[in-house]
Each structure stands twice: as C-alpha cells, then as structure tokens.
Amino acid sequence: MALLGLLDRRPGHGYDLKRDYDAYFGRGKPLPFGQVYGTLGRLARDGKVTAGQSEPGDGPDRKRYAITPLGSREVEEWLAEPVAAEPYLQTVLFTKVVLALMLDRDAQRYLDLQRAAHLRRMRELSEMKRGGVLVDALLADHALFHLEADLRWIDLTAARLGALAETVRGA
C-alpha cells in the first residue's frame, strides 16, 4: 500500500519508489529492489497501476508507473481504515515468560534480560531523535512509547511472577 500511495502522489520509476520508500518508511529495513518490482508487477496485473513504455536512463531502460483510478480508490479506502489496535493479547514476550515458568526455568532472569534489551533500544532511539529529522523523531517516539509500555508490563509481571507461576504450574 505504501508503494501504491507513493504512486498516487506522482508517477515514478521503481528506483524512485524505492528511494522514497526508504527515505520515509524504511528506517533500518530498506525495501529490496526485487520486492519493489515484484509488487509493481502484481499491482499492474491487478489493474491498480499501469506501466509506461521503457525509457532510457543511466542504467538499464526503466518504466514509469502510474496509478489507475482503481488504485487511487484502494489507497483512499486504506487510508480511511484505522489500523488494528496493538498490542495483541498474544505476544512473544508473554509466551516466553509463561513457558519459562511451565518448564521450571528462570523467568525472572528472562524478564531482566528483556528489560536490559529494551533499555538499550530506547537509548538508540533517543539518540536517533537528537538527529533533528522530524520523520526520524516521530518514528522513534512511536517505538519508544511501545517500549515504555513493555517495560511497565515487565515490571508488573516481575512483581506478580510468584502468582503467575502458581497459575501456570497448576494448570
């Protein structure tokens, strides 16, 4: 949907789409070129974009892609839908704690290690915010708020670990 939305802004080549995606959405996880062109192929097949004639460029010939009215409607509908609320009730963090207790392993140690990992990531994200780029700061804030919620959960779970152990071992 991000690529389709970028095309709704203006037509572009696969290279342009990858560059824009990576600049705005690909922090720490750039989009592979193969995924860009695979997605463009599916979007064209489904009638959501059209591919223009090949144009000469600095490298191999390139096609300029443009969104169709069907693609624009899909972007509009997607933007109007709220994102499913997170977090879900089933998380890896919770699963590891419960399994550690069920298997008679040190769940407190796991929680301590997880807390340390979260704090390290929070320091990295705080440093990223100091870079002064608004997009980076907003993405970092989003991640920081989630990590803060996880840390509160880790502390609450650590405080209730004895009761949780009785519950899961009694089941």
Q: What is the pLDDT of residues 51-101, one digit of tens each?
A: 987 766 665 557 899 999 999 999 999 998 887 776 666 688 889 999 999
49 plus 19 within the same structural domain: yes
Q: Is residue 146 part of a domain?
A: yes
- This prediction's pTM: 0.71
165 plus 112 within the same structural domain: yes
Q: What is the pLDDT of residues 117-153, one digit of tens each?
A: 999 999 999 998 988 789 889 999 999 999 999 999 9
CATH classification at residue 51: 1.10.10.10
pLDDT grade for 157, boundaries at 50, 70 and 90: very high
Structural domain tally of the chain?
A: 2
100 plus 52 within the same structural domain: no
Question: 12 lies in which domain range?
Answer: 2-80
Q: How many CB atoms are located within 10 Å of the residue 93 CB? A: 16
Q: Report the SS3 class of residue 126.
A: helix
Q: What is the pLDDT of residues 29-59, one digit of tens each?
A: 889 989 999 999 999 999 999 998 776 666 5
Distances (CA, A) of 74 to 35, 88, 118, 131: 20, 26, 37, 35
104 plus 38 within the same structural domain: no
